[in-house]
Amino acid sequence: MLQIKNAKFIKSIMDWTDAPTPPLPEIAFVGRSNVGKSSLINCLVNIRNFARVSKQPGKTRTINYFAIDDSFYLVDLPGYGFAKISRTEKAHWQKAIEQYLLNNQQLKMLMVLVDGKVGPKDNDVQLVEWLNFHQIPYHIIATKIDRVSKNSRPKQRKLIGEVLGQESASRLLMCSAKDSTGKEDLLNLIETILKHD
């Protein structure tokens, strides 16, 4: 399993062309506002409040880079689907994320986070369809799975797969930043991705 020994915040950017140097492989996290991207990153690196966590949706408004053992970056992308921002700002976020995903040669895998209890929303489905169309590699991470009873998890997994499509269901991990469920599986997945780079 991947052992993270050193993690540090590098920079926040608004445009993918301002990415930090030297270029390193990137594993990016994207999802609806308040789905738990920052919390999951904190769980992976085992540092509380490493990536800022807010109860206020839409708090991550930049592309945030974190260097892991000076060998790759974890990238926290702005959350989508938050209603209380202007259309102009929403359009800017969407364009920034699209440009990052379409043009970034360092991106090795996108982790698409969906709320494991609530299930995928329309904008999650639209994102996955867009990723499939553009052939961008991704895995689905069902977050906050501690809120789903262990007996109900197989059913919830099936539901998420049905909503997002079978291709997505085969690439689905269930995780919880609160109790570290799925942490080892996610670290193993990241390690495998980086080894095959």
Domains of the chain: 7-195 (3.40.50.300)
DSSP classification of residue 77: P
Per residue of the chain (197 residues), give pLDDT as tens. Answer: 899 999 999 999 988 899 999 999 999 999 998 899 989 999 999 988 888 654 454 455 789 999 999 999 999 998 887 656 677 777 777 888 899 999 999 999 999 999 999 999 999 999 999 999 999 999 999 999 999 999 999 999 999 999 998 666 667 999 999 999 999 999 999 999 999 87
DSSP classification of residue 2: -
What does the longest C-alpha to C-alpha distance in the chain come to? 46
- Could you tell me where the DSSP H helices lie in the chain? 37-45, 87-103, 122-134, 153-164, 166-169, 183-195
93-159-101 Cα angle (round to 5)? 25
Distance CA 196, CA 190 (A): 10
Beta bridge partners of 65: 11, 75
Distance CA 128, CA 131 (A): 5
- Report the pLDDT value the prediction gives residue 68, as an integer from 0 to 100: 97
- Which of 142, 140, 8 is CA-nearest to residue 68? 8
Q: What are phi and psi of 166, to 5 degrees?
A: -60, -30
Say how many residues make up the chain.
197
- Report the pLDDT value the prediction gives residue 36, as an integer from 0 to 100: 92
25 preceded by a cis bond (ω within 30 of 0): no
Q: What are phi and psi of 85, to 5 degrees?
A: -135, 160
Q: Are 66 and 50 in contact, with CB atoms under 8 Å apart?
A: yes
Q: Are 13 and 65 in contact, with CB atoms under 8 Å apart?
A: yes
